[in-house]
Amino acid sequence: MSGCRPALLPACALLLATLGLAGCFFSSSPSSPDLRTPSIPAPVAPSPSRISPSPPQPAEPSPPAAPPPPPPRENHLSAATRSLVTQAHTLTAHGDFDAASSTLDRALRIEPNNPLLWVEIGRLRLAENDAHQAEVCGRRALALASGDRGTEAQAGRLLADALRAQQRNQEAVEVERQPYMR
């Protein structure tokens, strides 16, 4: 202990004793396992008497149940667009198709994806004798109305009327046979 100062001599002795005991703990002896190197047991093949048959497997997993259908959807006009549609009806009744068209265009800027507005515009186009544009509006309304049976039926009637106005009667009959028209 030549490197230790006389005042630190008891502390150095205690440290050396602690390290010595720790070294005994990690040394291997015949009665204790070696903790520094783990041993891996050799694989053992199962004996035939230990092999049990596997449990029976179910034949086929049943397919998952279909999710419930979504609740019926209903399209509505907002208060602003309802007011504009009412104005357009009044203008149409007075024969002012240009003002009615402008009014419905304003409503369409508020709710561009509302199929009820496309039905209204299509009806106006039929009143103006523009069956081709009425057909376009009917198809657009039908595409946007998915899930709302009432709106689908309105759009289908508009489409059938527009097709008949173009002398495309067979196509009109096919539209009327669709499930949403029943």
**What is the per-residue pLDDT across 6-34, written as a single tens digit (0 to 9) for each?**
555 555 555 555 555 445 444 444 554 55
Residue 102 domain flag:
yes
Residue 129 domain flag:
yes
Taking 80 as the threshold, does the pLDDT of residue 113 lie above it?
A: yes
Residue 9 domain flag:
no
Tokens of 178: 């669709």
CATH number, domain of 106, equals 1.25.40.10
Q: What global pTM score does this model have?
A: 0.61
Tokens of 114: 């509302």
* Structural domain range at position 95: 79-181
pLDDT, tens only, 124-146: 999 999 999 999 999 999 999 98
Helix (H) or strand (E) holding 23: helix 9-26
Per-position DSSP letters for 94-162, written without gaps between them? TT-HHHHHHHHHHHHHH-TT-HHHHHHHHHHHHHTT-HHHHHHHHHHHHHHTTT-HHHHHHHHHHHHHH
The total number of structural domains in the chain stands at: 1
Residue 22 domain flag:
no
DSSP-derived 3-state class of residue 45: coil
Residue 151 domain flag:
yes
Residue 71 domain flag:
no
